[in-house]
Structure 1
Amino acid sequence: MTAFAFQAVPQNATEWLETARTAEANGFDTLLTPDHPGQCAAPHVALAAAAAVTTTIKLGAYVVNAGVREPMLLAADVATLDVVSGGRALLGIGAGHNPAEWESVGQTRPDVRGRVDRCIAVAEATRRLLAGEEVTVDTPALTMTGARLEKPRPVQAKVPLLFGGGNSRLLRWAAEEADVIGLSGLGRTRPDGRNHEVRWRLDQIDEHVEPLRGKVLEALVQQFEVTDDAEAALEEMADDVGLGVDELRQVPFILVGTIEEIAAQIREHERRWGITRYALRRTALDHLPALIKALA
């Protein structure tokens, strides 16, 4: 069965709490918010507020930058969210990509290998802390001595791990360790440090997903639009990414068309790649009930 997460950024208290209520009522099973220190709200603070006005929707960051987060502080944030939500937290983690996020805390962004090493080390240490273990690590990527998260203890026996990223080594690790693997189809970071090249050719997606067969895969949707004229809606993007409109309509990171056409795309994505989850944004909020009905 296809499931949907909703990714949003808090703007003010009234809007954020109403968004959380609406997302839950409309059938989203998870509420996600990004983590870009200095550029958006602190994710676990915002999600704790959302927990107070919801009852069933799961809550998590999509995704924390492991390069600038320490496992003990991250574990405490996630455990606290799990407590105040009655056991609905997840641990969302990635390697980070924006150099400004390192510079803002007085660090230099590591090379790819360094970011991967750090992401794996932080994820594994945080999971062990959430599980109640004592953690000692002494590596170039992470140093901890006798760390233990005594309080608060999470409600869940095992807090689910959501990994988001595209590095091949991290994906191999996530295939063994993560409960959900978030796919964005994004490639190399561009010189501005924020935007990315895309890997949206169908053969690239085939290659990317092949080692992940049988895992829970979630596509981060970059454009969601309900329209009777998908071709017109996609023409400009097709030029930007160097793909034809017909190919772009098959990409799991783009859902554009009528509700029935989008439902058909989702069925094809599951058949071809095994994708069973989607992370959607604001433009999808009010359309999900109709989409769920079309998929039934």
Structure 2
Amino acid sequence: MGTVSPFPFRFGVQSRSAGPRGPWLEAVRRVEELGYDTLMWPDHFVRGFEPVAAMAAAAIATERLRLSGFVFDNDFRHPVVLAMSAGSIDILSKGRLEMGIGAGWLKEEYDLAGIPFDPPGVRIARLEEAVHLLKLLLSGERTSFSGEFYTVDGLQIPPAPVQKPYPPLIIGGGSPKILALAAREADIVGITTRALPDGSKDAEDMTAAATARKIDWVREAAGDRFARIELNTICPTVEIADDRRAAAERIAADLPVSAAEVLDSPAVLLGTVDQIVETLQERRERYGFSYIVILEPVMEAFAPVVARLAGR
């Protein structure tokens, strides 16, 4: 079933680098120069800068670029702490924060840090409660809250955000439960790939058919608000190539999917600039994806695509 998106194209870059200050700031400014809309940081202990610190630095170094944790792991930060960070970053950036939050997925990281890795249902229930509390805290009003996981008694967060009622909320995932929560609560819903027990991504969950199922889950749970949800996807595999079929065959050789499925996967972008532009337009028509995220190493090569589509 096609999904006509009312949203223009936006493009984000996910940064995983943690280099020296000078080159890092140059790279941040370069993202803005290339016309990308958002710079995003994942929330991991094992790679990259801590995202709140990175966003604070980037807020001062840029003028237009939106900034996002993509996404904050709810189990790594109490909602009160995250609300304080979000309000501060939104003020420092003059209203450029997008607040991504998720239930966590990389068990290895939890184990390394000694954090209990609860079953998915528990983590998602805790995330849902955290989202409700975050919205209350970011309203700027004095908040009292008593839930299964969190309790707040008459707390008012001092740095209320610039954006009202709160910065745009991103929730992403690949399971029915997390996508139903995202559909009910988020402004931006990210469609992601299921993680395997070893932390790698399940290639069979990246297919067009799997993506269509996930969009259906979001549509069903969102009801009337579906038309107001911006749909987001991350493309970890991007290659500007004259022979997209050969590139797909090379990638498929290491995966349990065919070259045709690789080419059709919304997690993959292969081909010339013209071909990728056409592919993204088709996918917006087919799935509703208008907010596309790529990884920092390909941002220069992908910039001509951004120039063609951003804001359109």
TM-score, length-scaled by structure 2: 0.87
* 2:200 paired with 1:195: yes
Q: What whole-Å deviation, never above 9, does each CA across 1:243-275 have from its counterpart, x for those lacking one?
A: 222221121110111000101110110111111
1:20 alignment counterpart: 28
CA gap 1:91/1:105 in 2 versus in 1, 3 angstroms? same
In the alignment, which of 289, 292, 303 is matched to residue 278 of structure 1?
Answer: 292
2:18 alignment counterpart: 11
Q: What is the Cα-based RMSD across aligned positions, in Å?
A: 1.8
Alignment gaps of 5+ in structure 2: 1-7, 220-226
In the alignment, which of 48, 73, 85 is matched to residue 93 of structure 2?
Answer: 85
CA gap 1:35/1:146 in 2 versus in 1, 3 angstroms? same
Identity over aligned pairs, percent: 28
2:237 alignment counterpart: 223
* 2:174 paired with 1:166: yes
Could you tell me how far 1:280 is from its partner in structure 2?
0.8
Ranked by relative contact order (alpha carbons within 8 Å, sequence separation 6 or more), the top structure is: 2
Q: How many residues align?
A: 291
CA contact (8 A) 1:16 1:50 kept: no
Q: Is the deviation greater in 99-108 or in 89-98?
A: 99-108
Could you tell me how far 1:228 is from its partner in structure 2?
0.6
2:266 alignment counterpart: 252
AA aligned opposite 1:9: R
C-alpha distance in structure 2 between counterparts of 1:43 and 1:147, whole Å? 28
Could you tell me how far 1:15 is from its partner in structure 2?
2.4
Could you tell me how far 1:38 is from its partner in structure 2?
4.5
In the alignment, which of 179, 189, 199 is matched to residue 181 of structure 1?
Answer: 189
C-alpha distance in structure 1 between counterparts of 2:306 and 2:150, whole Å? 46
Could you tell me how far 1:147 is from its partner in structure 2?
5.0
Could you tell me how far 1:282 is from its partner in structure 2?
2.1
Q: What whole-Å deviation, never above 9, does each CA across 1:85-116 have from its counterpart, x for those lacking one?
A: 11111211011012243335543210011111
Q: Is the deviation greater in 53-62 or in 198-207?
A: 198-207
C-alpha distance in structure 1 between counterparts of 2:146 and 2:24, whole Å? 38
CA contact (8 A) 1:10 1:46 kept: no
CA gap 1:229/1:147 in 2 versus in 1, 3 angstroms? farther
C-alpha distance in structure 2 between counterparts of 1:50 and 1:172, whole Å? 32
TM-score, length-scaled by structure 1: 0.92
CA gap 1:135/1:19 in 2 versus in 1, 3 angstroms? farther
Could you tell me how far 1:150 is from its partner in structure 2?
3.0
